[in-house]
């Protein structure tokens, strides 16, 4: 398999390079490929069997004031990749987000639930999904993920450990619920999806189970042998930010089973292995 990774210098992109060991891989970071440039994208995609799109504008709060820039990367860039893949017959695996939903549900979001984003970032990612599926419907995999942490970039788990080294106590919101997801697990799952020749379409790539940010934070400390009681709960009103966050971001995983594949494992098991392997550190 000849694979191209866009956004290859990010946290997920770097883990994907490891997950693709044994395959012929072209890894292009933001400095190497501007996904908003359709001509450059077509040239980069040529000669590859599959493209893993990890390129994204992820500054959620900044997107509220500069939605056009976020749209250029998350929507137009994804559409460019899909069109280039359609032209060559390559498959596209593009990473999306739980933010395409409004967060008002009380049961896991199914893959076919209508998109209803509540902020600019979510709107641009939802548009990217729609454009990619329209341009290359038979060869596009949309994989929505959430609450990513890993070895190769700034993330919530690492921030909690840095706070543990600097503060005696601090508070974390307990009224936002989602699925902490280890990028190494997700990377392996993206590769499995392609290697299994699973049907194109929408998949939810999150570790199983659910937790609030408060519960996740305490678990990070506990797994690291630190006193989790140092973290106290608070609510979102204490951390007002420009972009509203979904209160409930739990995603269902039925598409994996329909494709004959197992969904990702429970987030606590993944976190244990991530900490043990040294992938989570402050």
Which active-site residues does the annotation give? 121
- Is residue 94 within 8 A of residue 247, CB to CB? The reply is no
Q: Name the pairing type of β-strands 211-212 and 177-178.
A: antiparallel
256, two tokens: 């994996």
Q: Rounded to whole angstroms, how far apart are CA atoms 250 and 229?
A: 25
Helix (H/G/I), strand (E/B), else coil: 37: coil
CA-closest candidate to residue 142, choices 63, 200, 226? 200
Residue 222 structure tokens: 């506990």
- Measured N-to-C along each axis, helices 213-223 and 156-166 cross at an angle, to the nearest 10 degrees, of 60
C-alpha to C-alpha distance for 9 and 11, rounded to whole angstroms = 7
Alpha-carbon distance 101 to 115, whole Å? 6
Strand partners, 24: 2
Question: What is the token pair recorded at 162?
Answer: 């840095």
DSSP states of 134-163: HH-TTTEEEEEE-SEE-SSS--HHHHHHHH
Q: CA-to-CA distance for 40 and 28, rounded, in angstroms?
A: 12
Distance (Å, rounded) from C-alpha 62 to C-alpha 55? 17
């Amino acid at each position: 398999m000849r694979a191209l990774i866009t956004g290859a210098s990010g946290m997920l992109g770097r883990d994907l390079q490891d997950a693709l060991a044994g395959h012929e891989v072209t890894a292009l970071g933001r400095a190497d490929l501007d996904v908003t440039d359709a001509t450059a994208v077509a040239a980069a995609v040529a000669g590859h069997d599959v493209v893993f799109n990890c390129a994204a504008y992820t500054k959620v709060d900044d997107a509220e004031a500069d939605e056009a820039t976020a749209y250029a990367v998350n929507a137009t860039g994804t559409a460019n990749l899909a069109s280039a893949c359609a032209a060559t017959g390559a498959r596209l695996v593009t990473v999306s987000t739980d933010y395409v939903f409004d967060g008002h549900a009380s049961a896991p979001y199914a893959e076919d639930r209508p998109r209803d984003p509540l902020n600019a970032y979510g709107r641009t990612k939802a548009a990217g999904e729609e454009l990619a599926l329209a341009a290359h419907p038979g060869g596009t995999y949309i994989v929505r993920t959430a609450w990513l942490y890993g070895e190769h970039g700034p993330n919530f788990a690492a921030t909690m450990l840095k706070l543990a080294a600097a503060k005696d106590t601090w508070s974390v919101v307990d009224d936002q619920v989602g699925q902490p997801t280890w990028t190494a697990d997700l990377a392996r799952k993206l590769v499995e999806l392609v290697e299994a020749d699973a049907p194109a379409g929408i998949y939810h790539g999150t570790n199983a189970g659910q937790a609030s940010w408060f519960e996740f934070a305490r678990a990070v400390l506990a797994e690291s042998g630190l006193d989790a009681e140092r973290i106290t709960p608070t609510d979102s009103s204490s951390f007002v930010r420009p972009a509203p966050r979904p209160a409930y971001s739990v995603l269902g995983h039925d598409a994996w089973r329909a494709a004959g594949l197992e969904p990702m494992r429970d987030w606590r098991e993944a976190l244990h292995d991530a900490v043990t392997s040294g992938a989570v550190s402050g």
